Amino acid sequence: MHMEEVAKALSSETRLNILRVLAEGEASAVHVYKLYNERFEDRRERATIYRELEMLYKCCFLVKSYNEGRKEIVYRLAARSINIDLIGQTISAGP
């Protein structure tokens, strides 16, 4: 992860809210979309949620896997925290 990518990913209220939803456990993109629009006043289109999930995945905030039982792709947090060293410009995942 590069510092700029992390800063950009965390600069969006939508992406931060998606992380809050997934902090409760793994979910499919459709489920994240439904939960997001139930919980937050700034309703988003499904395509927007999908795009933001993929950005969080590419920045390594999320893990994506296929759930055989439900026959769908699910997302979950890669870690519950990250550590940012502003001097060394490094980022590492916490537990």
Instruction: Kindly give, in sequence order, each residue whose CB lies less than 8 Å from that of residue 3, ignoring residues fewer than 6 positions away.
Output: 84, 89, 91
According to DSSP, the residues that pair with 76 across neighbouring strands are 63
Instruction: Give me the CATH topology for the region 3-93.
Output: Arc Repressor Mutant, subunit A (1.10.10)
DSSP state of 42: S
pLDDT, tens digit, 9 for 90 and up, residues 52-85: 999 999 988 999 999 888 899 999 999 988 888 8
pLDDT, tens digit, 9 for 90 and up, residues 10-50: 999 999 999 999 999 999 999 999 999 999 999 999 999 99
Instruction: Kindly give, in sequence order, each residue whose CB lies less than 8 Å from that of residue 87, ignoring residues fewer than 6 positions away.
Output: none
